[in-house]
Structure 1
Amino acid sequence: MAVETHGVPQLELEAVIGFNGHVFSGLRVHPDREHLIYPLGCTVILKRIKDGKQEFLHGHTNNVSCISVSKSGSYIASGQVNFMGFKATVIIWDYAQRTIYAQLLLHKAKVEALAFSPNDKYLVSLGGQDDGSIVIWNIETKQAICGSPASAHSAGHCLTVQYSNTNDNIFVSAGSSGTLRVWELDLPNRKIRPTECNTGKLKRIVKCIEVAEDDQFILCGTTSGDIMKINLKTGLLSDCGPVKTKYSLGVNVIRILKSGNLLVGSGSGTFTLCSKTNFKTLKEVQLEKGVTSIAIRGEGQQFFVGTEAAQMYRFNYVDFKAELISTSHNSAVKDVAITFGTSELFATCSEEDIRLWHIDKPKELLRITVPNMTCNSLDFMADGHSIISAWNDGKIRVFAPESGRLMLVIDNAHRMGVTAIAGTRDCKRIVSGGGEGQVRVWELQPRCHRLLETMKEHKATVACIKIKSDDKECVTASADGACIIWDIVRFVSLQMVIANTLFRTVCYHPEEYQLITSGTDRKVTYWDVYDGSAIRELEGSQSGAINGVHISQDGKHFVTGGDDKLVKVWDYMEGVVTHVGIAHGGSITSTKIFSNNQTLVSTSADGAILRWRTAE
Structure 2
Amino acid sequence: MENQISLKAEMAEVPQAAEVGELELQAVIGFNGEAMRHVPTGLKCHPDQEHLVYPLGCTVLIQAINTNKQDFLHGHGNNVSCVDVSNSGEYIASGQVTYMGFKADIILWDYKKREPIARLSLHKGKIEDLAFSPNDLYLVSLGGPDDGSVLVWSIAKRDAICGSPAAGLNVGNATAVIFSGGCDEMFVTAGKYASAGGGAGPISHFIGFCRKQGHSSMPSDDSFFYLGTTTGDILKMNPRTKLMADTGPVKDKFSLGVTAIKCLKMGALLVGSGTGLLVLCKSPTYKPIKKIQLQGCITSIALRGEGHQFFVGTEESYIYRVNFTDFKETLITTCHFEGVEDIVFPFGTDELFATCAKRDIRVWHTLSNRELLRITVPNMTCHSIDFMRDGKSIISAWDDGKIRAFAPETGRLMYAINNAHRIGVTAISTTSDCKRIISGGGEGEVRVWQIGCQTQKLEEALKEHKSSVSCIRVKSNNEECVTASTDGTCIIWDLV
Judge same fold: TM > 0.5, yes or no. yes
Q: Which residue of 2 aligns with 1:305?
A: 312
CA distance in 1, matches of 2:451, 2:334: 34
Q: Deviations over 1:52-74 (max 9, x none)?
A: 10000001111111111111111
Over the matched positions of the two proteins, sequence identity in percent amounts to 57
1:391, distance to aligned residue in structure 2 (A)? 1.3
Higher deviation after alignment, 205-214 or 8-17: 8-17
1:7, distance to aligned residue in structure 2 (A)? 6.0
1:204 to 181, 200, 211: 211
Q: Aligned pair 1:12/2:24, yes or no?
A: yes
Q: Which residue of 1 aligns with 2:403?
A: 396
One-letter code aligned to 1:326: T
One-letter code aligned to 1:85: G
Higher deviation after alignment, 444-453 or 29-38: 444-453
One-letter code aligned to 2:262: R
Is the 8 Å Cα contact of residues 166 and 203 (structure 2) preserved in structure 1? no
Q: Which residue of 2 aligns with 1:194?
A: 204
1:197, distance to aligned residue in structure 2 (A)? 2.2
Gaps of 5+ in 2: 1-17
1:322, distance to aligned residue in structure 2 (A)? 1.1
Q: Which residue of 2 aligns with 1:259?
A: 266
CA distance in 2, matches of 1:323, 1:448: 43
Q: Aligned pair 1:408/2:415, yes or no?
A: yes
Pair 1:88–1:7, CA change in 2 (3 A): farther
One-letter code aligned to 1:44: V
Higher relative contact order, chain-length normalized (CA < 8 Å, sep 6+): 1
CA distance in 2, matches of 1:324, 1:149: 41
Is the 8 Å Cα contact of residues 182 and 235 (structure 1) preserved in structure 2? no
1:482, distance to aligned residue in structure 2 (A)? 2.5
1:93 to 103, 109, 133: 109
Is the 8 Å Cα contact of residues 195 and 235 (structure 1) preserved in structure 2? no
1:155, distance to aligned residue in structure 2 (A)? 4.8
CA distance in 1, matches of 2:156, 2:191: 29
Q: Which residue of 2 aligns with 1:121?
A: 137
Is the 8 Å Cα contact of residues 168 and 205 (structure 2) preserved in structure 1? no
Alignment RMSD: 1.4
One-letter code aligned to 1:206: Q
Q: Aligned pair 1:295/2:310, yes or no?
A: no
One-letter code aligned to 1:92: L
One-letter code aligned to 1:128: G
Pair 1:129–1:154, CA change in 2 (3 A): farther
Is the 8 Å Cα contact of residues 307 and 324 (structure 2) preserved in structure 1? yes
1:29 to 20, 32, 45: 45
Is the 8 Å Cα contact of residues 163 and 170 (structure 1) preserved in structure 2? yes
CA distance in 1, matches of 2:260, 2:72: 26
Q: Aligned pair 1:357/2:379, yes or no?
A: no
1:148 to 136, 141, 164: 164
CA distance in 1, matches of 2:73, 2:477: 46
Q: Which residue of 1 aligns with 2:225?
A: 218
What SS class does the counterpart of residue 204 from structure 1 fall into? strand
1:203, distance to aligned residue in structure 2 (A)? 2.0
Q: Aligned pair 1:103/2:119, yes or no?
A: yes
1:317, distance to aligned residue in structure 2 (A)? 0.7
Q: Which residue of 2 aligns with 1:375?
A: 382
TM-score, normalization: structure 2?
0.93
Q: Which residue of 2 aligns with 1:387?
A: 394
Q: Aligned pair 1:460/2:475, yes or no?
A: no
Is the 8 Å Cα contact of residues 426 and 470 (structure 2) preserved in structure 1? yes
Q: Which residue of 2 aligns with 1:421?
A: 428
1:11, distance to aligned residue in structure 2 (A)? 2.2
Q: Which residue of 2 aligns with 1:521?
A: none
Q: Which residue of 1 aligns with 2:82?
A: 66
Gaps of 5+ in 1: 1-5, 186-190, 490-616
CA distance in 1, matches of 2:421, 2:20: 44
CA distance in 2, matches of 1:344, 1:469: 22
Q: Which residue of 2 aligns with 1:480?
A: 487
Is the 8 Å Cα contact of residues 132 and 158 (structure 1) preserved in structure 2? yes
One-letter code aligned to 1:116: F
1:436 to 428, 443, 467: 443
1:300, distance to aligned residue in structure 2 (A)? 1.0
Is the 8 Å Cα contact of residues 218 and 231 (structure 1) preserved in structure 2? yes
1:8, distance to aligned residue in structure 2 (A)? 4.2
Aligned residues: 475
Q: Which residue of 1 aligns with 2:62?
A: 46
Q: Which residue of 2 aligns with 1:498?
A: none
1:342 to 326, 336, 349: 349
One-letter code aligned to 1:181: A
What SS class does the counterpart of residue 180 from structure 1 fall into? strand
Is the 8 Å Cα contact of residues 247 and 284 (structure 2) preserved in structure 1? no
CA distance in 2, matches of 1:301, 1:447: 56
One-letter code aligned to 1:124: V
Q: Deviations over 1:63-92 (max 9, x none)?
A: 111111111111111111111221111111
What SS class does the counterpart of residue 401 from structure 2 fall into? coil
CA distance in 1, matches of 2:282, 2:163: 37
CA distance in 1, matches of 2:488, 2:342: 21
1:154, distance to aligned residue in structure 2 (A)? 5.5
One-letter code aligned to 2:203: R
One-letter code aligned to 2:25: L
Q: Which residue of 2 aligns with 1:164?
A: 180
Q: Which residue of 2 aligns with 1:519?
A: none
CA distance in 1, matches of 2:216, 2:171: 20
Q: Which residue of 2 aligns with 1:271?
A: 278
